[in-house]
Structure 1
Amino acid sequence: MTQMFALHSAYGLATAAAAIDEGLLGDAADRVLVPFVSAQVPETVVGIGADPLLESLRGRFDRVEDLGALLGARHPSDWQPTDADLPLWEKLFTRAWGLDPDDLELFVQSPQVAPARTLLSIFPRARLSIIGDGLMTYSPMRVALGRSIAARIGQVVYADVVPGVRPLVGTPTATPIPVPPARFRQVLSETDSGEPVLDVAGAALDDAVPTVLVLGQYLSALGLLTTREETALHRDLIDRASSWSPQRVVFKPHPAAPPLQTDAVRERALSRGLEFAEYRGALPAEVLAERIDAVAVVAGFSTALPTVRATLGIPVGSAGTVRLLAGLEPFENSNRVPLVLVDALTREDSPHGDPARLQLLIDAVGHAMQPEIAGHLRPRAELLLRTLDASERDRYFAPERLSLLRLPGAPAEGPVRRMLRSAGGAGRVEQWRLTVRGARNRAGRVWRVMRGR
């Protein structure tokens, strides 16, 4: 048996490595890592196949194969051959990498898009599994994969950073395989080079100063916020960090974020009498939090929040989630479930702290996002919505979405809206118009028969 892992993120690679260490993936004579870069400009990114901090994680695999060498000038995300060409690609990969397509298990991240989806199609006889990629794993599929692929997905392997909550990707057929937080922490610790942790000025950060780690996210680039709103959000992150009464704030900005973000955070921290330091090193947020002995970690809705909470026991906080949830469009936006999870986990006196209750919330939101793909979750959505008060319902569900799906809690419809509402593909008014026209046509045919025409 050959196991092939097509992965693009350090988080996914760490998940796969931890699952192997935990013995969750069974035995394989040959494990092949196929790393690729999904960034729009791959040349500007150090991929997981070359990152020196990930060398020990790559050591879990018997060999590493270069996808780019076979794709040539094609960007991995644009690689979508026609159905007629799929058998040719299967022969190419089989010969180039020495694979047996009848004895192959394929592990991929982000199965909805290329190149993962393409690989799933190229090997029609392979067993299929999904490797989770942080909080996105808890979202339902964005697109239907087709029966020939979906029926072969046997399991979803994911870091169990929200203990007691199952991911929705791959449901209802795939078996969830959680990687224990302790094992995941061990693997993450391997990405620590052991060198001193220094800020941008060269000062050491791994000292005994009470510190809150603040993580920046470049949300304006995704169209989720305006530049001004994002600047305000970063000020709010400092206000949230202040609730732990730290002496210092360490800010880890998004690598592509403009200096304006850092300036806003620095000014807010200094105005609150806090020391400020900026970290732009290569350590992942989870490792950095441990190295600086952070008393808390604060962010918008980063996957790092539940990860440090589950693996290190460090308290976490967020800011701006309510505003982001209200403005997130369309409702199917794949950032919605990560937002809901972080909001529910970091709210004071959250009514969704119990894992079973949080699962119900995620199931309901997942159904509302993808009512066809996650149609099996409709009873769960109805169960939750019947129990929520108006403020909780409006926090996570848009009234228009509830009306569209005819779910409990939808606002009452007026007579005009009822007439315009779709019914079987046509609005009520259009349905009545077609009915009247049909009756008129039938009456005309009867009249012509009676007149002998």
Structure 2
Amino acid sequence: MSTTQLFFACSQYAAATVTAAIRAGLFGPRSEHRRILVATDRSTLPEIGTPLDRMPGFEALRPEFDDICSWNDFIQPFHPADWSPREQDTLLWERALRRAWNLGRGPVEIACESIQGNPSKAVVKIFTDSPVHVYADGLMSYGPTRNKIDPQLGTRIERLLYLDLVPGLRPLLLTEFGVDTEIVPTATFAQVLAELSDAAEDSGHSSEGFPALLLGQYLSAIDVLTADEEQQLHIRMLQGAARLGHRYINFKPHPSAPLSWSRALEVEADRLDVDFRVLDSPVLAEVHYQRLRPALVVGCFSTALLTASTLYGLPVARCGTDVLLGRLAPYQNSNRVPVTIADALLPDLEDLPAVKSWSFSKACQTQEALTDLVSAVGFSMQPSIYPSLRPVAEGYLSRHLNGHTWRYFSRPRLTRLGLPGSAPARLAFISRNSGVRRVVRRARSLNRAILSRD
């Protein structure tokens, strides 16, 4: 009896990742499996979005799958980011799902993204006996597991598949269960992206020279920045690219971002006297890399910054990571490791000499320090899940904690964990005293008010 493999994908990038894994033979021979791509749209209003299987270039990915199913359609009117079945209903949902997708009674394997968010969380509850393969299509895999996972689920996870975006850096995700890790071959992934680019329709690229490309992420949607702050971040990117001498600048906004942000950038571009275009076609940034060959790629902590440098050898620069490191709350926010990696590895857009002299090969020469930094941050985020990392964290903090690396840590957090950099014992009560914290917040508020009047 053949096994049915369900590949859940929330984005074209995720679908390209699992397609590369299949082509590399990481999911066994085609003859022994029925493969279904389960498309999911987790955006706020999926009803007005473009379904994954109708995005430009999808036909390049289609041949690897026997069927395409929609998770949104199956669970409607519920939203895929929120819905998960009640424990007592899982058997009913399994029967309904097997009937709707013609799964029969045979074995089912699940390949999904973040195991602690829906729809992954929902489907592993429905198929309670199925083995699970987690694949990571970005920098999140290098960080710790967000929360403690039920051991009954953790022991079902057979492996973590990930892209080698930072060569030599090993994922921390799910290591508490001894989950094996496998790299999705970079060459295979690059070939899938090339085919996707060839199949995608022309997206209105500028033919003028080699432009700088700015990447939007829609960080205000996850409450990291306000909408105004994110708009200002994009303007900083534009100004920084212009200061570096780029006269042709393209902006790839997040698909769900407000149109007003692009208009604000157009106004600033006119003031700076640069040729500015918005690339609003729903294609991956990597498609633009292949067609534009940008002279510089600028973003905050987007995974696309690492694919630009690792896969295509393009110059990159980060902008705004210093602000985000101070804003992410709580400290164990799952975006912290991706922001840390971008900040530690990539040059600051506003440091012009650093941008001009930076190369990915030179940055990777400090691999051991980056590995220890990520381990120290990971332990500080989730000490109860990764107690074995305490010696690494203590060693890193003892040797490397300075004016620059403090941005990756929080003194109250270090104090709570008894790590180097803690507040002196006689002052440690401050971080735990609500009255003192209230006075500090009031003082900061007054200080900001005074500065704004100046």
Would the TM-score normalized by the shorter structure come out above 0.5?
A: yes
Q: Name 1:163's counterpart in structure 2.
A: 167
Q: Name 1:176's counterpart in structure 2.
A: 181
Q: Could you tell me how far 1:145 is from its partner in structure 2?
A: 2.2
Q: Name 2:55's counterpart in structure 1.
A: 51
Q: Could you tell me how far 1:269 is from its partner in structure 2?
A: 3.7
- 1:102 and 1:125 in contact (8 A); partners too: no
Q: Could you tell me how far 1:17 is from its partner in structure 2?
A: 0.4
Q: Residue 385 of structure 2 aligns to a residue in which SS?
A: coil
Higher mean alpha-carbon deviation, 345-354 vs 130-139, is at 345-354
RMSD: 2.5
**Pairing of 1:25-424 with structure 2 (within 5 A):** 25-27=27-29, 28-99=32-103, 103-172=107-176, 173-192=178-197, 193=199, 195-198=201-204, 204-205=205-206, 207=207, 209-242=209-242, 244-347=244-347, 348=354, 354-414=366-426, 417=429
Higher mean alpha-carbon deviation, 10-19 vs 325-334, is at 325-334
Structure 1 CA distance for aligned equivalents of residues 302 and 4 of structure 2:
34
Q: Could you tell me how far 1:208 is from its partner in structure 2?
A: 5.1
Which amino acid is 1:361 matched to? Answer: L
Paired residue for 2:12, among 10, 13, 20?
A: 10
Q: Name 1:201's counterpart in structure 2.
A: none
Structure 1 CA distance for aligned equivalents of residues 208 and 74 of structure 2:
50
Structure 2 CA distance for aligned equivalents of residues 419 and 362 of structure 1:
25
Structure 1 CA distance for aligned equivalents of residues 191 and 264 of structure 2:
35
Q: Residue 156 of structure 1 aligns to a residue in which SS?
A: strand
- Using the aligned pairs only, state the percent identity: 36
Q: Residue 399 of structure 2 aligns to a residue in which SS?
A: coil
Q: Deviations over 1:284-324 (max 9, x none)?
A: 11111221121110011111100111111101101111111
Which amino acid is 1:277 matched to? Answer: R
Higher mean alpha-carbon deviation, 19-28 vs 290-299, is at 19-28
Q: Deviations over 1:67-117 (max 9, x none)?
A: 345424222233222222222223333344344777332111121022211
Structure 2 CA distance for aligned equivalents of residues 119 and 328 of structure 1:
29
- 1:214 and 1:252 in contact (8 A); partners too: yes
Higher relative helix content: 2
Q: Residue 177 of structure 1 aligns to a residue in which SS?
A: strand
Which amino acid is 1:342 matched to? Answer: A
Q: Could you tell me how far 1:232 is from its partner in structure 2?
A: 2.6
Q: Could you tell me how far 1:270 is from its partner in structure 2?
A: 4.0
Using a 3 Å threshold, how does the CA distance of structure 1 residues 255 and 33 change in structure 2: closer, same or farther? closer
Q: Could you tell me how far 1:406 is from its partner in structure 2?
A: 1.5
Higher mean alpha-carbon deviation, 261-270 vs 15-24, is at 261-270
Q: Could you tell me how far 1:397 is from its partner in structure 2?
A: 0.3
What is the TM-score with the length of structure 1 in the denominator? 0.84
What is the TM-score with the length of structure 2 in the denominator? 0.84
| Larger gyration radius, structure 1 or structure 2 | 1
Q: Residue 75 of structure 1 aligns to a residue in which SS?
A: coil
- 1:32 and 1:62 in contact (8 A); partners too: yes
Which amino acid is 2:383 matched to? Answer: P
Q: Residue 386 of structure 1 aligns to a residue in which SS?
A: helix
Q: Could you tell me how far 1:221 is from its partner in structure 2?
A: 3.1
Which amino acid is 1:12 matched to? Answer: A
Structure 2 CA distance for aligned equivalents of residues 291 and 57 of structure 1:
19
Q: Deviations over 1:45-87 (max 9, x none)?
A: 2232332421221321122233345424222233222222222
Q: Could you tell me how far 1:420 is from its partner in structure 2?
A: 6.5
Q: Could you tell me how far 1:209 is from its partner in structure 2?
A: 0.8
Using a 3 Å threshold, how does the CA distance of structure 1 residues 420 and 262 change in structure 2: closer, same or farther? closer
Structure 2 CA distance for aligned equivalents of residues 419 and 391 of structure 1:
21
Using a 3 Å threshold, how does the CA distance of structure 1 residues 403 and 55 change in structure 2: closer, same or farther? same
Structure 2 CA distance for aligned equivalents of residues 164 and 370 of structure 1:
22
Q: Name 2:351's counterpart in structure 1.
A: none
- 1:184 and 1:311 in contact (8 A); partners too: no
Structure 2 CA distance for aligned equivalents of residues 83 and 323 of structure 1:
41
- 2:213 and 2:298 in contact (8 A); partners too: yes
Which amino acid is 1:404 matched to? Answer: R
Q: Residue 161 of structure 2 aligns to a residue in which SS?
A: strand
- The answer to whether 1:23 aligns with 2:25 is yes
Q: Residue 190 of structure 1 aligns to a residue in which SS?
A: helix
Using a 3 Å threshold, how does the CA distance of structure 1 residues 22 and 41 change in structure 2: closer, same or farther? same
Structure 2 CA distance for aligned equivalents of residues 419 and 6 of structure 1:
43
Q: Residue 14 of structure 1 aligns to a residue in which SS?
A: helix
Higher mean alpha-carbon deviation, 189-198 vs 78-87, is at 189-198
Using a 3 Å threshold, how does the CA distance of structure 1 residues 150 and 102 change in structure 2: closer, same or farther? farther
Structure 2 CA distance for aligned equivalents of residues 88 and 227 of structure 1:
42
Which amino acid is 2:415 matched to? Answer: S
- 1:365 and 1:396 in contact (8 A); partners too: yes
- 2:13 and 2:284 in contact (8 A); partners too: no
